[in-house]
Amino acid sequence: MENYCNELLYKLETDIDELEIEADCPIQRIETVIRIIVECLSELKKHILKRGFKNTEEEIHFFKHQKPVIVSKLIYYNAIYKIESKKPNETKSAKKYFNTELKKLKRFFDNNLEFYKYYRTNNTFIDDQLFFWGKYDIKLNLDTIYFETDHSFSTIADYKAAKILANDLIQVYLEDQLNNKHYKKVNNKSPLSWTASKTALTELIYALYPHGVFNNG
C-alpha cells in the first residue's frame, strides 16, 4: 500500500508541476489540475475497494496521512479556483477580499482547535475512532459533511485532516497575494535558492513529516 500511494502521489505531483511551470495559475489550468486530482482519487478508491487493508495500522495510516495529502490538493485548488474567480480587480478591494479569506481560515482553526492539536502533535490515542473505516461516534461532534460522503472510502476525520493541510497551502497563497512580491533568499550567501513556488515547498514538508525525518521523529 505504501509503495502504491507514493507512486500515485509522485505521478500526481509531477503532472501538476508540469502544468504549473507554464504560467501563473490561470483559471483554465486550475480546472485541468482539479480534473487530474479527481481522476487520481477515483483510481485510488478503486484500488482500496478492491484490495482492502492488511491490518488496522495500515488502514489508519492511509486515512490519517496518505489519503488526506491527495484530498488536500483538491481542496486547495478548488479554493484557489473560487478565490481567483471572485477576486476584485481593484487593488484595495482585492486586499480586503484576501484578508476576508484569511479570516475564514482562522475561523476554521478556532472551530477545530482540539483536532488541530491532536493532528499536529501526531497523537494516536483515538485514531481507531477517527481514522477507522465505517466507524463513527456522534459524541465526537461530527461535521455534517461526514453523513454526505461515501462511507466506503471515508472515515469521520480524514477530510478534516485534508482540510488542515489544504488550509496551510491556502494561507501561503493568500499571504503571497497580499505581499505581492517574489520570494527572497533566506541567506544571500547560500549557493542554493528555492526556485519553485512556496506552495510546492510546503507540500514537500508535509510529504516528509509523517515519516518522522525531522528531529528524530
| Angle, CA 138 vertex, CA 78 and CA 54 arms, to 5° | 70
Q: What is the pLDDT of residue 189?
A: 47
pTM metric for this prediction: 0.76
Each residue's pLDDT expressed in tens, for the chain with a length of 217 residues: 888 999 999 999 999 988 876 655 578 889 999 999 999 999 999 999 999 899 999 999 999 999 999 999 999 999 999 999 999 988 889 999 999 999 999 999 999 999 999 999 999 999 998 898 766 554 555 555 654 566 678 888 999 999 999 999 999 999 999 987 533 333 444 556 667 766 677 777 766 766 666 666 5
Non-local (6+) Cβ contacts of 214 within 8 A are 208
Q: Which amino acid, 26?
A: P
Whole-number Å distance between alpha carbons of 217 and 209: 8
Could you tell me which of 176, 216, 217 has the C-alpha nearest to residue 199?
176
Whole-number Å distance between alpha carbons of 41 and 144: 21
Q: What is the pLDDT of residue 184?
A: 37
Q: How far is CA 8 from CA 21, 125, 145, 161, in A?
A: 20, 29, 26, 19
Only one residue has cell 493532528, namely: 119
Whole-number Å distance between alpha carbons of 119 and 122: 5
Whole-number Å distance between alpha carbons of 123 and 21: 37
Are the CB atoms for 217 and 202 separated by under 8 Å?
no
Are the CB atoms for 153 and 45 separated by under 8 Å?
yes
